[in-house]
């Protein structure tokens, strides 16, 4: 069944339940090579502090091979982040007051606890 891109992005954010600040020790950053246990690297990329651009595309594939299993009418969502994040051994953000570390080029704009310019 079709699920919207917003549904999928929300499912990535919901990985927060498997994340422990500052580093994702208990979630698996090596998937799909070794997919075992919990996953939180979609979440950490979404909230990565230095990422300030994102572009996404969605496609519905009549048939798609997913790890050896054929899925019918699969929704394929791909997002590119810039600058990229998810650096192993680095935290995605600093713990602290929202917008307290906004870059000077942003001019101090803060809305919904996010820096903006």
Render pLDDT for 5-18 as a digit per residue (tens, 0 to 9). 899 899 999 999 98
Q: Does residue 27 fall inside a structural domain?
A: yes
Q: Does residue 53 fall inside a structural domain?
A: yes
The rounded distance, in Å, linking the Cα atoms of 48 and 103 is: 14
Count of residues for the chain? 117
The kind and range of the H/E element at 78 are strand 69-82
What is residue 46's three-state secondary structure? helix
Can you tell me which residue has the tokens 């502090």? Answer: 49
| pLDDT tens track for 27-82 | 765 555 666 667 888 899 999 998 989 999 989 899 999 889 999 988 888 999 99
Q: Does residue 85 fall inside a structural domain?
A: yes
**Residue 56 and residue 79 in contact, taking contact as beta carbons nearer than 8 Å:** yes
Q: What pLDDT shows up at residue 28?
A: 63
The rounded radius of gyration (Å) of the Cα atoms in the chain is 16
Q: Does residue 116 fall inside a structural domain?
A: no
Half-sphere exposure in the Cβ direction for 48 (13 Å, CA): 23
Q: Does residue 16 fall inside a structural domain?
A: yes
Query: What values do phi and psi take at 67, rounded to 5?
Result: 50, 45
Q: Does residue 55 fall inside a structural domain?
A: yes
Can you tell me which residue has the tokens 């950490």? Answer: 44
Domain membership of residue 70 as a residue range: 5-91
Q: Does residue 114 fall inside a structural domain?
A: no
Q: How many folded domains does the chain comprise?
A: 1
Q: Does residue 56 fall inside a structural domain?
A: yes
Q: What is the CATH number of the domain that holds 23?
A: 3.40.33.10
């Amino acid at each position: 069944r079709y699920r919207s891109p917003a549904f999928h992005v929300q499912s990535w954010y919901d990985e927060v339940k498997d994340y422990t600040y500052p580093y994702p020790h208990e979630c698996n950053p090596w998937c799909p090579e070794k997919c075992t246990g919990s996953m939180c690297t979609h979440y950490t990329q979404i909230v990565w502090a230095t990422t300030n651009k994102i572009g996404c595309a969605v496609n519905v594939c009549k048939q798609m091979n997913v790890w050896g299993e054929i899925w019918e009418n699969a929704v394929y969502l791909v997002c590119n982040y810039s600058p990229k994040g998810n650096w192993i051994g680095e935290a995605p953000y600093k713990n602290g007051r929202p917008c307290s570390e906004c870059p000077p080029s942003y001019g101090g704009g803060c809305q919904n606890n996010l820096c903006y310019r």
